[in-house]
Amino acid sequence: MAKVKLPQLIDPTKSAMKRSTYVGVYASDLMERLNSAVEASGEWISVDVKFEKDAQSLTYFHGNANAEVELLCQRCNKAYSDSIAVEFTFSPVQGEDEEAALPSAYEPVEVNDHGEVDLLQLVEDELILSLPIVALHAEEDCNVGPDDMTFGKIEPEQERKNPFEVLKELKRD
Ligand SMILES: [Zn+2]
């Protein structure tokens, strides 16, 4: 089946009036920040998103995205494959007043001057936030086992500060 490439900018209000569902992909090449956070990523990021209005007639959109990535194990320093799955629920807002009035079930997303949201960037942010802070193999797959006495015991670098922690903290406010 041919892959449907999703538009990057979407007007959520119009899409919600039509109760649109978008099922398709983004090329991972377009996600530079994600690519710089992982060793490698699969060619396509799959996305499934539905635009709706709730009982209060608020526009919202929710869905999920999946990415195949290669991460570098912090214990044995070898790359391994992982899939990252995220779910999200956003509601478009314009200005701080609308953002303050938004029910907490929704994550606010600021629209641009044309009333559009950058769905690609939203998905990319969610994927980056879902990456493990310390990437590690499953213990049985790791090339440095707990009984590997030849090289001594190597602890994961617990103190390693993930640059995206900062982003995560910003999002919580
Ligand atoms: Zn490992």
Report whether 33 contacts 128 (CB < 8 A). Answer: yes
Among 33, 40, 30, which residue's Cα sits nearest to residue 72?
Answer: 40
Helix (H, G, I), strand (E, B) or coil at 33: helix
Element (H, E) at 52: strand 44-53
Whole-number Å distance between alpha carbons of 26 and 24: 7
The CA 129 to ligand 1 mean position distance, Å, reads: 21
Confidence (pLDDT) at 136: 94
Confidence (pLDDT) at 149: 44
Among 91, 37, 43, 89, which residue's Cα sits nearest to residue 66?
Answer: 43
Whole-number Å distance between alpha carbons of 72 and 58: 42
The CA 147 to ligand 1 mean position distance, Å, reads: 13
Q: How confident is the model at residue 85 (pLDDT cuts 50, 70, 90)?
A: very high
The CA 34 to ligand 1 mean position distance, Å, reads: 21
pTM: 0.81
Q: How many residues does the chain have?
A: 173
Whole-number Å distance between alpha carbons of 10 and 123: 13
The CA 33 to ligand 1 mean position distance, Å, reads: 24
13-71 per-position pLDDT tens digit? 999 999 999 999 999 999 999 999 999 999 999 999 999 999 999 999 999 999 999 99
The CA 73 to ligand 1 mean position distance, Å, reads: 5
Confidence (pLDDT) at 160: 52
119-130 and 163-172 helices, crossing angle to 10° = 110
Span 101-128, average pLDDT = 96
The CA 75 to ligand 1 mean position distance, Å, reads: 5
